[in-house]
Chain A
Amino acid sequence: MNGTAVAVEGLTKRYGEVVALDGVSFSVPAGTILGLLGPNGAGKTTAVRVLTTIIRPDAGHASVLGYDVVRDAASVRYRIGLAGQYAAVDGNLTGRENLRLIGRLTQIPRGRIAARADELLERFELADAADRVVRTYSGGMRRRLDLAAALVHQPPVLFLDEPTTGLDPHGRLELWDILRELVADGTTVLLTTQYLDEADRLAHSIVVVDRGRIIAEGTPSELKARVGSTVIEIELIDEADALRAEPLLAAFGAGCGRDGRTICVKLQDGTHALIDVLRTLDAAQLIPVTLAVREPSLDDAFLTLTGRHAEPVDVPDRETVGTRGGA
């Protein structure tokens, strides 16, 4: 795969006083996953809504597969799939009816609609529930159906707005597998997420946004090199031991503080260094009481990049759409 599937340049969108997007530029190479990472209200959803032709930007340009999202919106719509933060499916229709409706609205050939719906129901393990009304579905089933609905017309570019929010760990892993499969087939994916580990595991490149601006971008490993990787916290028997261990551990990465008999270290080589850490401690006859390994969170990344915590910004009403519960 080569070429650019999604190109964004100087994108700006205001809602009254609030600047949701403030001159954002990035691009997504075809056949890759880009993770748009940021806290609530960072502008992720606004970017997705501009790219999916739902809203128009105030300034800047965006194109999907070469089609401008404002001027050639109709051409863009044939080529994109969208799964939003909320499972946007009709609760009064069955799973099958939902997919067939989307099939009709995306104008795939009449004869293909039924087969395509069945195919997707099968793949998303909804075949048994296909003829049940969707309001009887569990949250996870609704999300799967929502994603299936985004794929009905086989869009080469897929936009997913926080696709794993509200999913259990199993559901998350399942969705990750599906996304990898889609990308293996040549689909380009732009997904937004609040989870650094999700972006890390899925995305080929990550764009970190905060208050409508890009504050960092790069491959997951580039980004992790900047924000610090795995953090270990070792608790020793007493403070004297901890004081003795501290200089020994400095060889493995920058310290992130000692709290009594607990030492925190940011490992440079990730978990690979863990065994060496333990060997070093053992050689010095220092015995860890507890050992915690922690992957950096979005919050850690934010702290490093911006010097402040990843706090949600007040979101304008338009951003969240209506009065949906649990937003």
Chain B
Amino acid sequence: MTLNAIAAATPIEHRGLGRLASAASDILALTGRNLLGYRRVPQLLVFSTIQPVIFVLLFRYVFGGAIRVTGVSYVDFLMPGIFTQTVLFGAMTTAVGLATDLNTGLLERFRSLPMARSAVLAGRTAADLARNVFVVALMAAVGFAVGFRVHTGVPQFAAGLALVLLFGYVFSWVFATVGLWVRDPEAAQAAAFPVIAPLVFASSAFVPVSTMPGWLQVFAEHQPVSVTASAVRALVLGGSATSDVVQALAWSAGILLVFVPLAVWRYQRTA
């Protein structure tokens, strides 16, 4: 049997897809590959779901009793925050995944292949979005189990979750940039935490910002985690949601506009 029956200078047979079709095919192939990776390393998924479950239990049953929120039960206040926090933490896996591919030389191989340049980043972030769908569904189930209730309706709840997924997708691009920058899986994790911690804790995710000192309130009220959590809250608990949702969408759009080009630029320079 011959290994390489095609003699030199013979045109290679390939499917000759159009630019867009071939990019879509590449993105799909890499998304599938990344998802398969998550399935093969279940520890990753377990780790990223156990932590938010612990947060739910901790805040619902340990700290929750000491936290006063007006108008709603604490668990209903908490869950929109948990959803937002969960996808934000989950976005770290984008950084880790890309840094790992960089380290094993896979990105280098991909760059020598006749595939769409955009596929590596698009496939990674798409896989992380799919993973977030699973994680958010799981967190919703956990929420319902500990007493969380939607006060509005299914469409509003779905819209809230969609907002959360968008938020997670947006931050995948932020952490894609981080992963390509630091080039090392462990360092990526270490670099991500200082970004995530203030966003998650100096926010309205777990406590109302009104208890914070004035200078912190300004940040806590307007930063993307709070805005997104508030928008989800407005959607699932009722009341006027438009302003919060618009602000949340504006944050997501703004971050995407900055970080998609930044990640792409970084990817092109990373060889």
Q: Is A82 an interface residue (CB 8 A)?
A: yes
Partner of A101, one of B1, B6, B29, B105: B29
Can you list 30 A-B pairs, Cβ within 8 angstroms, ordered by A? A1-B7, A3-B9, A5-B8, A77-B112, A78-B14, A86-B104, A89-B106, A92-B36, A92-B40, A93-B37, A101-B29, A104-B26, A105-B119, A106-B114, A108-B13, A108-B14, A119-B1, A122-B1, A151-B4, A153-B14, A154-B4, A154-B6, A154-B12, A156-B4, A157-B8, A185-B2, A185-B7, A188-B8, A321-B105, A324-B103
Complex Cα spacing A181 to B108, Å: 26
Q: Are A185 and B5 in contact (CB under 8 A)?
A: yes
A298 beta carbon closer than 8 Å to chain B: no
Inter-chain CA distance A84–B271, complex, in Å, is: 13
Contact in complex: B37, A92 (CB < 8 Å): yes
**B25 / chain A contacts, CB cutoff of 8 Å:** 104, 107
Complex interface bits, B12-40 against A, C-beta within 8 A gives 1, otherwise 0: 11111100001001100110010011001
Task: Determine the residue in chain B with the shortest Cβ distance to A147.
Answer: B3
A321:B184 contact, CB within 8 angstroms: no
Q: Complex Cα distance A31/B14, Å?
A: 22
* Residues in A neighbouring B3, C-beta threshold 8 A: 120, 123, 151, 178, 181-182, 185
- Contact: B114 with A107, CB < 8 Å? yes
* With contact pairs A90-B106, A107-B15 given, residues A101 and B2 touching in the complex (Cβ less than 8 Å): no
A31 to B1, CA, bound (A): 19
Q: State A253–B27 Cα separation when bound (angstroms).
A: 63
Q: Number of contact residues on B: which range applies?
A: 35 or more
Across the interface, which residues of A come within 8 angstroms of B7, CB to CB? 1, 31, 156, 185-186
B114 touches A54 (CB 8 A): no
Chain A residue at minimum C-beta to C-beta distance from B15: A107
B113 is contacted by which of A91, A105, A110 (Cβ under 8 Å)? A105
Chain A contact residues, CB within 8 Å of chain B: 1, 3, 5, 30-31, 49, 52-55, 65, 74, 77-80, 82, 84-93, 97, 101-102, 104-110, 112, 119-120, 122-123, 133, 149, 151, 153-157, 178, 181-182, 185-188, 318, 321-324
Specify the chain B residue showing the minimal Cβ separation from A112: B13
Taking the complex as formed, is B142 at the interface, i.e. its CB lies under 8 A from any CB of chain A?
A: no
Chain B residues with Cβ below 8 Å from A89 are 104, 106
B residues 36-73 in Cβ contact with A at 8 Å: 36-37, 40-41
Chain A, residue nearest B110 (CB): A105
Q: Total number of A-B contacts with CB less than 8 angstroms?
A: 159
By a CB distance below 8 angstroms, the chain A residues around B240 are none
Query: Cβ of A110: which chain B residues have Cβ within 8 Å of it?
Result: 15
For A87, list chain B residues within 8 Å (CB). Answer: 105
List, in ascending order, chain B residues with CB within 8 A of A153's CB.
Answer: 12, 14
Residues A105 and B115 in contact, CB atoms below 8 Å apart: yes
Q: Verify if B183 is at the interface (C-beta below 8 Å from A).
A: yes
Expressed in whole angstroms, the minimum distance between the Cβ of A108 and any Cβ of chain B is 6
Say yes or no: A156-B33 contact (C-beta < 8 A), given A108-B14, A321-B271. Answer: no
Q: How far is the CA of A153 from the CA of B14 in the complex (A)?
A: 8
Q: How far is the CA of A202 from the CA of B8 in the complex (A)?
A: 19
